[in-house]
Amino acid sequence: MPAGTLYRGREGMWSWVAHRVTGVLIFFFLFVHVLDTALVRVSPEAYDKVVATYKTPIVAILEYGLVAAILFHALNGLRVIAVDFWSKGPRYQKQMLWTVVGVWVVLMLGAIYPVLGHAARELFGS
């Protein structure tokens, strides 16, 4: 296949968009994380307040979204590497995309309890 076929078709376009969006979201998370961690030197009390907000159910849902973004970005990145460096990669890029999506769904289902378990107990009790 000629160069530029990696994102051909509807699935390829959406994987391209999702890869960029998840990359930007991860970047902003890291930026905020550096800022809130630096806050401990400026005002330990303010840092404690910020950390206390992280223990809320809404933030747990955001953490689950962060796990989803990082996991998809990583798996899709491996697919992009395979397409770029494996001679048969372009031929199998669509199958690899659906494999990435399948693995991502299975891992995200497995992450529900570890990531959202505390939030569920907060909302619904033990």
pLDDT band of residue 7 (cuts 50, 70, 90) is: low
Q: Average pLDDT for residues 60-74, to the nearest whole number?
A: 95
What the block records as the tokens of 55 is 């223990």
**Closest listed residue to residue 68, CA positions, set 22, 99, 120, 125:** 22
* d(C-alpha 125, C-alpha 99), whole Å: 37
pLDDT above 80 (res 1)? no
pTM higher than the cut 0.75:
yes
> Distance between CA atoms of 88 and 72, rounded to whole angstroms?
22
Q: In whole angstroms, what separates CA 69 from the centre of its chain? A: 1
Q: What is the mean pLDDT of the chain?
A: 89
Q: What confidence score (pLDDT) does residue 123 get?
A: 84
For residue 107, the number of C-alpha atoms closer than 13 Å in the C-beta half-sphere is 16
Token couple for 46: 């303010």
Short-list 69, 66, 65, 99, CA closest to 82: 99
